[in-house]
Amino acid sequence: MAVGRHLNVTVWNEHVHERREPSVTKIYPDGMHAPIVEGLRRELAGEVSVRVATLNEHDHGLTPEVLAGTDVMTWWGHAAHDEVSDEVVERVHARVLEGMGIVLLHSAHYSKIFRRLMGTTCSLIWRSDEGGERELVWTVNPSHPIAAGVPQPIVIPHQEMYGEFFDIPPPDELVFISSFEGGEVFRGGCCYYRGAGRVFYFSPGDQEYPVYHQREVQRVIANAVAWCGGAASPNDQPSAREGNRQRNWYM
């Protein structure tokens, strides 16, 4: 994928579950950030420089110098939202308003930074049955750059259910919705503009399942990084099932 300009990306991961829970360590032995980094380097080959930052580093790895040199960051958190420094949150928030892009993943919906950016509770309903359930991620805006080259739908065999009502402002652009075996649907791919910055929330990725090892999920994250960095090309690629979808339309 050509993104038009080089992007400096910081992949931020709480990195708590992988160090504490054997079930998560087995899936992500090098941390949940590792397959995200792998996907970015593959999908945006030669056009990104990627660094990793984690919660237990000084300033959570997000010093003023690191943020000043970051075009886009990704954020995954869950078990330790409250341990993230308010000072660092304000620092990240200011950088987004200045033009830094941010991609928030799965349970980062309840992170301090996402709630700060949204101005709402960002609460939702959820169900985490043992073994999870199938999630289908449907593209509802196929011309959006984040949907480029993404199958219709993305099939995630096992995942925690996130459902509506999701207490967020109406997205500026909605790219994906998810459906689950239990019948729920969820706005799981939401774009926002905040100041000079771009924000994308993408819901798949519970720590108990190997979601970030899926190449199509990695593709979405890479597309989102390119879009949030203002470097995405217009998307004129049809979805993988465009022909079938056209045949099923009724006039």
For the stretch 123-175, pLDDT in tens is 999 987 777 899 999 999 999 999 999 999 999 999 999 999 999 999 999 99
Nearest to 53 by CA among 86, 92, 21: 92
pLDDT for 234 equals 64
Judged against a pLDDT cut of 80, whether residue 243 lies above it is answered with no
What is the chain's Cα-based Rg? 17
For the stretch 179-223, pLDDT in tens is 999 899 999 999 999 999 999 999 999 988 999 999 999 999 999
Domain boundaries, the chain: 7-247
Amino acid type, 42: R
Amino acid type, 57: E
Characterise 99 by phi-psi region: left (phi > 0), alpha (psi -120 to 50), beta (else): left
Burial class (CB in 10 A: 0-12, 13-18, 19+), 116: middle
Backbone dihedral angles phi then psi of residue 107, each to the nearest 5 degrees: -75, 0
For the record, the structure tokens of 161 come out as 């259910």
Give domain 7-247's CATH architecture: 3-Layer(aba) Sandwich (3.40)
CB 78 within 8 A of CB 107: yes
